[in-house]
Chains A and B, each alone.
Chain A
Amino acid sequence: MSRYLLVRLLQGIGLLVVVSAVIFLIVHSAPGGPEILNNPDVDPETAKAIARDLGLTDPIIVQYARWVGRAATGSLGRSYQHQVPVITLIRNRLPNTLLLAGTALGVALLVAIPLGVISAVRRYSALDYMATIGAFFGVSIPNFWLGIMLIVLFSVTLGWLPSAGMRTAGVETGLADLLRHLVMPAIVLSTFPLAQLMRYARSSMVEVLSQDYVRTAQAKGLSPRRVLGTHALRNALIPVVTVLGVVTPRLLSGAVITETIFAWPGLGRLAVDAAITRDYPVIMGLTMATAVLVIVSNLLTDVAYVALDPRISLR
């Protein structure tokens, strides 16, 4: 186990180096440089001085080496736009994104797996058809459009839910207020993974149900609950866990859009702003944060695998 973790740690570091080099190269080859240098209020001489100060006039290899050197000591530089350390920006916003993405994933799992299992057990029933067609809609609906439509319905027409932000300004910040702000973004972000996980859970369960060991379990007179819960479900979940590894990057991509629609103060919105204003240190910092999140979630996926399937062991 410890040997496995060591290998994964080294692989993770290797991935971070490759990803950071690629993104650094892409970002720093931007024609025109960061937006702060293109501000019409700054005269060209000052802009040149700023660029020199920031080290942007050095060869790209030197710049990258300097970035790696700083990153190794835990410093990701200062944001050009916000004038605060990137670490601070990320630390302030990461919990908000984790709250949103975690809620969305939780909702998706809690709905998708039972629904997929019931659909598989009652195959070709009305519920199965509805769930299957619903899942098609779920993977096809543009999430930003769903967000806009929810705002039209629940904020504009009914006035039930706030359309933007995380907390109501001036109001006592309570849990209820936070939850009211969380409802719509969480629905929007969970739609795609919910539909995808449901489809996988259903097809996986259908396959497992036709296996001999399920028939054996039924034949020896176990209650349907035990056949499903103990024998079928556990095996059916193994492929579903694989999909989880693909769902995490999609959740982070979805967070970019969802946070933009609902003005949710998380990493996704920061990413859009940083990309548009070419805030190099923030882009690099977010790339690293995202890569770490993906690596950690892949690790958790592997651990979940082992927990579900005794045939697999971590080596």
Chain B
Amino acid sequence: MAQQLTAAAPAAASAFRSRSNFTVFWGRFRRNRLAMGALGFLTVIHLVALAAHTLAPHDPTFLDLLDQFADPSREHPLGTDEAGRDVLSRLIVGARVSLLVGLLAMLVSVTVGSIVGSVAGFYGRAADGILMRLTDGMLTIPTFFLALLVLAVFGSSLSKVILVIGFTGWMVVARVVRAEVLRTLPQEFVLAARALGVSDARLLVRHVVPQASASVIVAATLGVAYAILTESALSYLGLGVQPPTPTWGNMLSGAQHYVWTRPQLAVYPGVLIMLCVLSYNVVGDALRDALDPRAGRARLA
């Protein structure tokens, strides 16, 4: 028995060294074909968004009232909209704006959520009580109505849309970070850091919060999906990013008046929103499965 153990130990150790955490994770993730497809789509759409102004064949805001509702042609591969603007160019530049809002709003959510969650978990007691009440409260109110109200009252702009979506979507991150902080605090390396006289802020930022990164990455990925969906809904109601800046949401808002005659104008942006949100959701779910060792064991059982 003892012999077996000593014989097995070096082999296990070398196997561990040769397969880094990332390799293990990537090996699991790669097996999920749906998620790989989604990742591929997201890569393409983000590259398109990055190079939007180079790729767009026309100026997406150029009005040509003599060429409204043009059918697809060499000049306009997807035709033109109600103001004679090139639909393909608007979809491409719209990708840039919609994804920018999605990613930045997610960053706001993750920042707010990480701060709330780590402070609540780290300081406990009253801070925890108050912050978690706030989190629960925010989870039980219709946040979309709140976002809509704030934008209607204060007027809408790109940065306000990002902030409003970010500040109504941080609750899941806060809960996740708090749980991870509570799990990490009693561990020895935290005690060691404390014994070395590390300040609270440094302890949190350098040692405790990084432990939550896996869960935060999952929540952040799903958060992008939520943010893109919310932006499109706000823009649809006319309270999101304002024209002439094209986003998929405000393209739909324009297109809905012409669904009886030109339904295709409403199809394109909607399909793109759905595919992006779907891809982020699928990738987020696959990340959760690949990053969570418990999920792996459950599957074996």
Contact = CB atoms under 8 A, between A and B. Distances in A.
B262 to A, nearest CB: 10
Interface string A191-229: 000000000000000000010000000000000000000
B278 A140 contact: yes
Interface string B138-170: 011111110011101111000000000000000
Contact of A30 (B143, B154, B232, B269): B154
B282 interface: yes
Interface string B59-102: 00000000000000000000000000000000000000000000
A87 interface: no
A82 to B, nearest CB: 17
Interface of B: 34, 137, 139-145, 148-150, 152-155, 225, 229, 232-233, 236-239, 252, 255-256, 259-260, 263, 266-267, 269-270, 273-274, 277-278, 281-282, 285, 298, 301
B252 to A, nearest CB: 6
Interface string A234-255: 0000000000011011101110
A19 B140 CA distance: 12
Given A271-B145, A278-B153, A136 B278 contact: yes
In this complex, the interface size class of chain A, counting residues with CB under 8 Å from chain B, is 35 or more
Interface string A258-291: 0011000000000110011010000100000011
Given A26-B153, A257-B237, A140 B274 contact: yes
Contacts, number: 120
Specify which of A142, A245, A283 lies most central, judged by the most chain B CB atoms within 10 Å of its CB.
Answer: A142
B149 A156 contact: no
A23 interface: yes
Nearest to A276: B152
A11 to B, nearest CB: 10
A260 B255 CA distance: 15
Contact of A245 (B140, B154, B236): B140
Nearest to A156: B260
22 contacts: A15-B137, A27-B149, A27-B153, A30-B153, A136-B281, A140-B229, A140-B277, A141-B274, A142-B229, A142-B233, A142-B270, A142-B273, A145-B269, A151-B259, A152-B263, A156-B260, A249-B142, A253-B142, A257-B233, A261-B256, A271-B148, A276-B239
B278 A26 contact: no
A105 to B, nearest CB: 14
